[in-house]
Chains A and B, each alone.
Chain A
Amino acid sequence: MADKERLQQIDRWAAYCKAEPEKAKKAVNGLVDAQIDIANRFYQRLRKTPEGRKTYEKLLKLRMERSGKGK
């Protein structure tokens, strides 16, 4: 999506959030829950094998390294 269209979409969505907060909230809840559920299920599967556990540990380490960066 071109930058201009992307910004227009942000403005449209923000205006919708303002006009229809309950409907917007429901949509965002679905997105947030799905994202976290999917990621957690992936990590659970990953940790089932010794190799996967190692990968999982590496991913956790990466997350720790990102802590506080730029905030």
Chain B
Amino acid sequence: MERGVSDLNILEKFALEFTHIVEQYGRYIIVSGFVAIVHGRSRATEDIDMILERISKEKFVQLHAHLEKEGFECIQGENPVMLYDEYLAQNTPLRYIRKGMPLPDMEIKLAKDKLDELQLQERTKLPMTNLPFWFSSIETNIAFKEEYLKSPKDLEDARHLRVLYEGILNEEQINRWKVLIKKVRL
């Protein structure tokens, strides 16, 4: 059973409101630190990372207008055409916040390569979190943290997820992702 809104923390409420809008325009996944935090990792973060399928400029203009109407603002600017051309199309993420509240922010980028597209294809809900969001799989998150991101914080996130999913994790999948990461990103 999904959690009631009163059980959610500020990050989760923010993500819930944001994804409710975004999902009307394209497929998304939430990746990286937020995935560990919704699994109980006790660490701070100021943003949530989202990958959105490569939507058209026209669609993004509509999405941006919808987000603004619902009280979000993009910290890089107001003009959606500029935001698309100078940021999203160049694979630079945008950051959206609640108007007047600097934190938290949603860092949103378009799928930029085969790895992002594959993560979107294999997106999943994570029942252990009781949350309605679409995530990249736990195996993918672990592979990225151990093979690509590798900061102490990311390695600790991966370790935390490994303990939680012990006995359920598909190590073959993790290794498959690590091979793909090496091939495409490193």
Contacts and interface: CB of A to CB of B under 8 A. Distances in A.
B80 interface: no
Interface string A9-24: 0110111011001001
9 contacts: A10-B163, A14-B161, A17-B40, A18-B163, A31-B44, A60-B75, A63-B95, A68-B91, A70-B151
B104 interface: yes
Given A18-B163, A28-B9, A63-B105, A39 B46 contact: yes
B32 A14 contact: no
| Interface majority SS (helix, strand, loop, mixed), chain B | mixed
Interface string B89-120: 00111110000011111010100000000000
Interface residues of B, number: 40
B37 interface: yes
B10 A32 contact: yes
Interface string A26-46: 011101110111011001000
A18 B30 CA distance: 22
A54 interface: no
B62 interface: no
B68 interface: no
